[in-house]
Amino acid sequence: MTDRIFIRDLTLHAYHGIMPHEGRVGQTFMIDLDLDIDLSEAARSDKVKDTVSYADVAQCVEKVFTGQRFRLIEAAGGAVADAVLAAFPRVLTVAVTIHKPHAPIAATFSDVGVTLVRSRASGK
């Protein structure tokens, strides 16, 4: 049985990208997280100690995502996924989706991004 905690549209300003202006001006990114975790104990106990704090996860993600400049959002997403697994031993699998709606693409689009999935069990 796998339960899930999710966070949607965590909005952060960062300086990721390969274009020089992305490093100077930055842009807004939205991050979605899905954390697979056994929540059966938390459901019984009604205690935060038996789950993972959404606030702590958001703080961890913000620190990693804004703490350094990445050229690729793939690298940023990998760093976020690794940090969540390292900081929260109860999390079995994490899926990180990074939306980059202002990517420098010469086309009309509403959103682009990546999703990375990392699992404690498989090491991927």
CA-based end-to-end distance of the chain: 20
Is residue 124 domain-resident?
no
Is residue 16 domain-resident?
yes
**Is 49 an annotated catalytic residue?**
no
What residue numbers bound the domain in which 76 lies? 3-119
| Distant-in-sequence, close-in-space partners of 120: CB < 8 Å, separation ≥ 6 | 85, 91, 92, 93
Name the domain count of the chain.
Answer: 1
State the pLDDT confidence band at 106, using cuts at 50, 70 and 90. Answer: confident
Q: Of 47, 49, 100, 124, which residue is the catalytic one?
A: 100
pLDDT score, position 1:
57
Residue 15 belongs to domain with CATH number: 3.30.1130.10
pTM of the model: 0.92
> For the segment 50-70, what is each residue's pLDDT rounded down to a tens digit?
999 999 999 999 999 999 999
> For the segment 14-34, what is each residue's pLDDT rounded down to a tens digit?
999 998 888 899 999 999 999
